Copies of this chain bind each other. A is one copy, B any other.
Amino acid sequence: MSFDRLIEKIIEMKNPTVVGLDPKLEYVPEFIQRRYLDEDGWTLKAAAKAIFAFNQAIIDEIHDVVPAIKPQAAYYEMYGHYGIKALEKTIRYAKLNGMFVITDGKRNDIGATMEAYTNAHLGTVMVGENELEPFAADALTVNGYLGTDGIAPLLKVCKERDKGIYVLVKTSNPSSGELQDKLIGDTPIYAVMGDMCEQWGADTIGKYGYSAVGAVVGATYPEQLTELRKRLPHTMFLVPGYGAQGGGAEGLKGGFDENGLGAIVNSSRAVMCAYKKEGCDERDFAKAARREVIRMRDDITSYINLK
């Protein structure tokens, strides 16, 4: 009912990072694409099989170094229900390998409908007398624009099933300020949203001081990251934008507390496409991903105080 499970993995592995599995087909080495596309034809089904095979090989190579993966739902929805099946299988495979899974879905809706999203991604669904777990992730990213009754169903399941959520607070993209930086009185909207996260999480604080309600805060805005760390002492941050989007490791420092906790930094493309950047044989893509996650871990932990 907090992020303790994730934080324990972070401490154990001395690694506050998460690998975003956002497998565009163009990221998948050609030998894997050929294996599936030539066999099954150029179909959504074949594409989904190829991305799952790609994900599996990466998980095999990184699961003993990185505590968590963050599959981005959009890159699975791209391949229709076949893609969603690949998402389900990716989540299951990562969990079998001991990883914590954050589904990046940025879901949001009014209460009754949010309950359906919650049950789908973090909870269970009743079919007749069977209680089934459709996706079974450990955490989900969500958008808080609809206020408390769009969040309440999530909090219930977080408590009952030891799950977590990350609410969009200050996103990493260039135009995030258009709405998020606007002032309500003296307070920017992102800080108001952050304050709501503190409230929503208030009765789920775990032994490391962080609740089950985290916040998404982009690495591309280091000042706000530092400001929000101070403002939101019980809210763990999921920090996208390191690497490919331009956020450097030094700028991340402010997102962590004095124990090197309180944040987990995501990298997607730099890991999935490490083999392209290295220029190594594409058959070596998973080992290249491993080299990149080790490099990222060492880069980030050199700036923080994680014991």
Chain A residues with a Cβ under 8 A of chain B = 22, 24-25, 33, 37, 42-44, 46-47, 72, 74-75, 77-85, 87-88, 106-111, 113-114, 116-117, 119-121, 125-130, 132, 134-135, 143-150, 168, 171-180, 182-184, 189, 192-193, 196, 240
Contacts and interface: CB of A to CB of B under 8 A. Distances in A.
Number of chain copies forming the complex: 2
Contact of A145 (B113, B143, B172, B196): B143
Point out which of A25, A74, A120, A174 has the most chain B C-beta atoms below 10 A from its C-beta: A74
Contact of A106 (B81, B108, B171): B108
A98 B85 CA distance: 29
8 contacts: A42-B127, A44-B127, A47-B127, A74-B114, A77-B121, A78-B125, A78-B134, A147-B180
Given A108-B108, A116-B75, A173-B150, A145 B168 contact: yes
Contact of A179 (B24, B128, B145): B145
A113 B184 CA distance: 29
Contacts of A147: 173, 175-180
A215 to B, nearest CB: 13
